[in-house]
Structure 1
Amino acid sequence: MQVHTRWQRALGLLAALGLPLLVNAQALLSGNQFLTPQLQAMQQDADANPVTLWVEKGQTLWRNGCQSCHNNPDTLRTSAAQHPRLVTRNGQTRLVNLEDQINLCRQRAGQSPKGVEDDDTLSLSALLHSIGKGQAMHVQAPADAAGQQRWQAELAQGAQIYATRLGRLNLACVHCHDGKVGAALRAEVVSPGHPSGFPVYRLNWQNLGSIDRRLRACYSGVQATLPPSGSPALRQLELYLKVRADGMPLDGPSIRR
């Protein structure tokens, strides 16, 4: 009931901003519910689940670095559910997701930043998502008027991307993740596309990947020009997806085909 109440509030926000209301209550389903029984069994078995390797590495990285500032990782239990968010650094404001934030922390500690798909970055992301499992996704606009205006503009851009036809296949996100939920597409069952299960270990990647990588794969799937990793468009789309799924619990890291 709480999930649907928060979902209704999210739809109210989108309506107030004049953004498309594309998702329905029946589609508030995690991607984990679309896994085969074999993949569900693998995901539930810590010894068979490859994600365990990244979570364990994240624990080691935490002890060797993050712990000096943040103590126990439980202090950041809600962090994964509350990104992306607006961050101002050196006079510039931009949307950052959790992997970006991990890199900002590196820079504050005097270290060189690493890529979004760097193994250390993904390991820390996997750790924080695993600790945040069960937390309701809820990204909020800043409290100040200027921040709210900027946040709403970023959200509007994300909604526009979601509804815009792209690539040689001339498809938008909405055509699959609202219009074809449950249908078979290229040997996969189409899910609503809610971002609750990231980062994900995809069998066809043989690796863990962030939401950034998955969104770029969707661009590739419709034969569109890929936005650069970490681009504003990807962060705007992620923001819209989080608002669209407001109130859903995190259930990642996950396995996908």
Structure 2
Amino acid sequence: MSARPIALVTGSRRGIGRAIAIELGRAGFDVALTDMAASDELDHAVAEVEQTGVRAIAVASDLADINTHQATLIEIEERLGGQIDCLVNNAGVSVMSRGDLLDVSPESFDRCMGVNTRGTFFLTQTFARHVIARGRPSVAPHPSIVTITSSNAVAASPLRAEYCVSKAGLSMASTLFSLRLAEHGISVYEVQPGLIETEMTAPSRARYDAQMEQGLTAIKRWGTPQEVATTVRTLVTGGLPYSVGQAIRVDGGLLVNKY
């Protein structure tokens, strides 16, 4: 068995997930990077993680298909020859189209809930059961689960209501798992990114640039995927060992009450 712990980072083909996978490689984890399907972009992300000196693999995985979760964990451990001690729930989808709350379609609502909330909830459950059932100590000093939600778990954005609802539900799920798993020594954290510069947020760049200048955020710039990744590394390496059920904001002061 490998002496290095394994981290599973979902949705790690690009953006925040990719940055987290690379950063956990630097922290000494072998890394499994997942995405809906195999792609050159996912393979390139794997290669970047390998450049940190650890092993990395690409895994095609549909998070919404909860019947595949256990098989995915087993496949990762067999291919990397070790045990998964860290789960980073990063994968998620946005709305099919921004628009009036009164026009939200069942298809877009179900898609957000099926991936962001339901899929992530049951992967977390499967991972927790897997760790508890194996009956041997973790390789990592601090076995952990980190769920990437959003500032929209708190802040309402009526133009993408179904996304907000899905992330609010996921935030509560993270709190619940943090309480349930504390007795097993599994640390559960939630990270709420704010305005992070990624391909997903690119269409909103001009609108938020202007609002930042007017005081929307205390730090008047976009955050970077690397800043989220640094926060995740701090958590999974034991940087907040006595914290349970707290959301860590990486948002430049976006959610701070101001007047």
Higher RCO by CA contacts (8 Å cutoff, separation 6 or greater): 1
State the TM-score, normalizing by the size of structure 2. 0.27
- Bigger strand share: 2
